[in-house]
C-alpha cells in the first residue's frame, strides 16, 4: 500500500506526514519545488502480538504502509499537464491523501491570498482531470493510428479500447473523475498500467488549527473519504514520549493518535484487510484487497504459491484465540480446507498447500 500526501503549497502536507509517520522532516518547502519524502510504517495490530506470544517465532513481522509526501503541485499545470518527474511520482501511488488547509496563520501566507478549502479542492481536482484528459487525447490519437495501419492487434480489440477511452474522455470533459464512472473490474484491470490520477482513491484530510472544528465539505465521489486532523498539534505529540503524549491526548480530548487513525482510514480507502501466516519461524501479517480469493492471497506471500495453489488451510483468528492453539482448533473441527473460490476474510490464518 502506497499513499501519496498531496495538496497546494503551505497546506501542511509535511506536517501531516510527520504526524502520521513520527518523522522530523523540515516544513515550509517553497512553492513549485518538486520534493519527495518517503516513510514506511508498521501497521499496529494487537492480533499479531497475540499470535507472536502464542507461537514464539524467530521473527514477528507487521504489515506495512508507505506514505509519500509529494511537494510540487501548485495548480498551475494548465493545458501542458503535470511535469514528468512529478507525474512519475503521482502515478506510482495506490491512492492520495489530499491535504486541505483549514487553518489561518499570518506567518504562512496562502498562495491564493486567503484560506478556502473548497476552492483549493476544485483547483487540485481540475488539475488531475486536465492531466488525464491530455493523456487520453494522446492515447486516442495513437489508437486511431494503430487501427489505420492495421498492424499488430486485431481491429476488434483496438475498437474496444477506443470505445472505453472515449467514454472516459466524455466523463472527464463533464468534470467527472474516472473513479465515478462505475467501470467493471475487467475495465479497471485493463487500465492499471496507465496511472490515471482521477481513477485513484482519494482521502480528503482537513488540516485544522488547534481546537478548531472542521468545516462541512461535501465530496460525493466514489472511493473517497473525508477526515479531519489537527495537524500541528498531532505532529508535536508524535514527537513526545508515550507517557507525555498520553497526557496531552487526555487534555485535548484526542482518543487516538493520528498514526493509528490514518492507518485505519488508509485500509478503508484502498479496500484492504489483513490475513496472517504463523509458525515457529515467523508470524506475519499480510495485506490483501477486500474480496480477494485464496490464490490471490497466496500470491501476496509468494508468486509460486499462487501458481501452484491446491488448497488453503484456514483458521479464523477468533477461533484460534478462543481455543488456545492449533491442536485444539483441529480437535474442535475449526480448521477448514478451502479451494480456489474461497474469499479470504479479515483475520484469517492461512497455510497454503501448493505444488509447482
Helix (H, G, I), strand (E, B) or coil at 159: helix
Q: What is the mean pLDDT of residues 321-346?
A: 96
pLDDT single digits (tens) 135-185: 999 999 999 998 888 777 888 989 999 999 999 999 999 999 999 999 998
Residue 35: what pLDDT?
Answer: 87
Share of the chain above pLDDT 90, in %: 75
Please list the helix, strand and coil fractions of the chain in percent, rounded to the nearest 5, in that order.
40, 20, 35
- 77 has pLDDT over 80: no
Q: What is the dihedral of CA 133, 136, 141, 147, to 10 degrees?
A: -150
Residue 79: what pLDDT?
Answer: 66
| Residue 17 cell numbers, joined | 506526514
- 216 has pLDDT over 60: yes
- Residue with the larger pLDDT of the pair 246 and 60: 60
Residue 307: what pLDDT?
Answer: 97
- 30 has pLDDT over 60: no
Task: For residue 186, count other CB atoms closer than 10 A to its CB.
Answer: 8
CB 106 within 8 A of CB 83: no
**pTM given for the model:** 0.91
Q: pLDDT band for position 26 (50/70/90)? A: confident
Q: How far apart are the first and last CA of the chain?
A: 28
Q: pLDDT band for position 258 (50/70/90)? A: confident
DSSP symbol at 347: T
Task: For residue 19, count other CB atoms closer than 10 A to its CB.
Answer: 26
Specify which of 13-22, 30-39, 204-213, 303-312 reaches the highest per-range mean pLDDT.
303-312
pLDDT single digits (tens) 217-251: 999 999 999 999 999 988 988 888 888 888 888 88
CB 52 within 8 A of CB 283: yes
Domains of the chain, each with CATH number or no CATH: 291-354 (3.10.20.30)
Amino acid at each position: 500500500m502506497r499513499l501519496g500526501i498531496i495538496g497546494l503549497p503551505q497546506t501542511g502536507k509535511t506536517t501531516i506526514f510527520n504526524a502520521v509517520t513520527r518523522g522530523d522532516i523540515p516544513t515550509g518547502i517553497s512553492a513549485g519545488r518538486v520534493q519527495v519524502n518517503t516513510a514506511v510504517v508498521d501497521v499496529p495490530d494487537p492480533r499479531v502480538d497475540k499470535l507472536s506470544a502464542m507461537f514464539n517465532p524467530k521473527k514477528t513481522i507487521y504489515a506495512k504502509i508507505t506514505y509519500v509526501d509529494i511537494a510540487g503541485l501548485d495548480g498551475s499545470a494548465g493545458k501542458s499537464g503535470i511535469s514528468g518527474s512529478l507525474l512519475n511520482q503521482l502515478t506510482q501511488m495506490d491512492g492520495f491523501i489530499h491535504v486541505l488547509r483549514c487553518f489561518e496563520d499570518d506567518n504562512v501566507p496562502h498562495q491564493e491570498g486567503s484560506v478556502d478549502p473548497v476552492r483549493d479542492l476544485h483547483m487540485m481536482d481540475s488539475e488531475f482531470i486536465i492531466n488525464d484528459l491530455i493523456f487520453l487525447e494522446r492515447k486516442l490519437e495513437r489508437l486511431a493510428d494503430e487501427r489505420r495501419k492495421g498492424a499488430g492487434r486485431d481491429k476488434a480489440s483496438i475498437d474496444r479500447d477506443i470505445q472505453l477511452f472515449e467514454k472516459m474522455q466524455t466523463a472527464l470533459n463533464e468534470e467527472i473523475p474516472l473513479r465515478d464512472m462505475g467501470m467493471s473490474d475487467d475495465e479497471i484491470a485493463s487500465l492499471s498500467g496507465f496511472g490515471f490520477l482521477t481513477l485513484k482513491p482519494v482521502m480528503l484530510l482537513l488540516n485544522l488549527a488547534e481546537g478548531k472544528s472542521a468545516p462541512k465539505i461535501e465530496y460525493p465521489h466514489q472511493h473517497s473519504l473525508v477526515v479531519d486532523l489537527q495537524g500541528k498539534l498531532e505532529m508535536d505529540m508524535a514527537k513526545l514520549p508515550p507517557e507525555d503524549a498520553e497526557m496531552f491526548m487526555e487534555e485535548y480530548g484526542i482518543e487516538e493518535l493520528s498514526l493509528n487513525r490514518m492507518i485505519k482510514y488508509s485500509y478503508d480507502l484502498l479496500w484492504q484487510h489483513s490475513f496472517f501466516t504463523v509458525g515457529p519461524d515467523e508470524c506475519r501479517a499480510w495485506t490483501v484487497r477486500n474480496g480477494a480469493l485464496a490464490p490471490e492471497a497466496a500470491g501476496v506471500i509468494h508468486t509460486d504459491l499462487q501458481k501452484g495453489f491446491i488448497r488453503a488451510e484456514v483458521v479464523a483468528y477468533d477461533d484460534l484465540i478462543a481455543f488456545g492453539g492449533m491442536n485444539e482448533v483441529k480437535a474442535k473441527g475449526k480448521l477448514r480446507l478451502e479451494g480456489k473460490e474461497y474469499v479470504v476474510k479479515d483475520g484469517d490464518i492461512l497455510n497454503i498447500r501448493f505444488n509447482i
